[in-house]
Amino acid sequence: MLALTSASAHAEPLIHVVFHTDWKAQAEHGGFYEALALGLYKKAGLNVTIKPGGPQTDNTRLLAAGAIDLAMVSDSFQALNLAAKGADVKIIMASFQKDPETIMAHPGAGAQSLTAWHDRPIYMDDAFKFSYWPWVKAKFGFTDRQSRPYAFSLTPWLQDTRALQEGYLSSEPFTATKGGVTPQLVVLADAGYPGYAGMVATTGKYLRAHPDVLRKFVQASQAGWAAYLTGDPSAGNALIKRDNPEMKDELLKYALMQMRSKGIVISGDAVRAGPGVMTAARWATIHREMSAVGLYPKTLDPRTIYDLEFLAKP
């Protein structure tokens, strides 16, 4: 919620903002932590507190209920779910131009494409099954009989060299490699999936009351992501490890390497306009693709869920 904190006896008071992330502190939140560590929020007149999420985090529900003002929404499905329910919530920035959701196979699986792998069993969690999976089936010829439950242990996949495994680009592939298997990867975005991820969302009430605060937060966060991806990430990483003592340098390094090499943050429109950018055309494409596989009504207007006015202009 909004509060005022005195910066000094002679300075303008900083506006206190609490930003709720979608998981424990990690490299995928690096741009926000970098903005905090480099003083970019403070320079913009904000006193930002980053509140990490965890296994029980449900930012979409809390936003829809008006219980929090500013939070991460993990993927485009969560955003469109909010739109479908008529929630007074707006997406105002997308950290990830490419969704990091990934399908991996064992080495030697042949051509590195989902079309070539369409007849293999695939381990997936429920979140994947009720979001990305309908799109994967429609695009690449998979069927429900190939689905296998994923209980967040890679042991079944490691033991079945024909099997596929869904996961996050910086998580399951890292764990597989540590387990002695360097997997072949297909990032769904590289296979045509159009969704944004790692988005910043706010309530309509907060947006109408504090547009200047949101503009400052978004643009400082965009600058933070640019610094984290293209400069020295050590300042942001130090704060990540402070908020998540279980986070190791090895995983931070791996995740950042994957985000850089796969263009997760800086690719497409972000090459010209900078990290965080969104476009109306891209949102229309996301809705069209997802409604085509029956996840959302074709009559749903995706324009109800985003607001582009707070992004830095290229």
Same domain for 187 and 223, yes or no, is no
Beta strands in 97-149 (DSSP E): 101-105, 122-124, 147-149
Q: What local confidence, expressed as pLDDT, does residue 222 receive?
A: 98
Q: What local confidence, expressed as pLDDT, does residue 255 receive?
A: 98
Same domain for 142 and 12, yes or no, is no
Please report whether residue 312 resides in a domain: no
pLDDT reading at 290 higher than 70: yes
Please report whether residue 309 resides in a domain: no
pLDDT reading at 10 higher than 60: no
- DSSP letter string over 209-272? H-HHHHHHHHHHHHHHHHHHHHS--HHHHHHHHHH-TT--HHHHHHHHHHHHHTTSSSSTHHHH
Q: Which two tokens stand for residue 106?
A: 């064992």
| CATH number of the structural domain spanning residue 248 | 3.40.190.10
Position 11 confidence tier, pLDDT thresholds 50, 70, 90: low
* Per-residue pLDDT tens over the stretch 223-273: 999 999 999 999 999 999 999 999 999 999 999 999 999 999 999 999 999
| % residues pLDDT > 70 (the chain) | 96
* Residue 107 CB neighbour total at 10 angstroms: 9
Q: How far is CA 213 from CA 9, 45, 67, in A?
A: 22, 9, 18
Same domain for 174 and 121, yes or no, is yes
- For residue 284, what are the contacts with CB-CB under 8 A and spacing of at least 6? 302
Q: What local confidence, expressed as pLDDT, does residue 35 receive?
A: 98
pLDDT reading at 6 higher than 70: no
Q: Which domain holds residue 271?
A: 3-97+195-304
Distance CA 137, CA 192 (A): 13
DSSP SS3 for 165: strand
C-alpha distance across the termini of the chain, in Å? 30
Mean per-residue pLDDT for 23-39? 98
pLDDT reading at 90 higher than 60: yes
- Beta bridge mates, 274: none
Distance CA 82, CA 90 (A): 9
Position 3 confidence tier, pLDDT thresholds 50, 70, 90: very low
Report CA Rg, the chain.
Answer: 20
Same domain for 89 and 221, yes or no, is yes
pLDDT reading at 85 higher than 70: yes
Based on the structure, what is the number of domains in the chain? 2
Mean per-residue pLDDT for 4-10? 41
Q: What local confidence, expressed as pLDDT, does residue 1 receive?
A: 38
Distance CA 33, CA 41 (A): 10
Distance CA 175, CA 53 (A): 21
Please report whether residue 311 resides in a domain: no
* Per-residue pLDDT tens over the stretch 141-196: 999 999 999 999 999 999 999 999 999 999 999 999 999 999 999 999 999 999 99
Same domain for 210 and 288, yes or no, is yes
Q: The pTM is what? A: 0.94
Position 12 confidence tier, pLDDT thresholds 50, 70, 90: confident
Q: What local confidence, expressed as pLDDT, does residue 28 receive?
A: 98
pLDDT reading at 38 higher than 70: yes
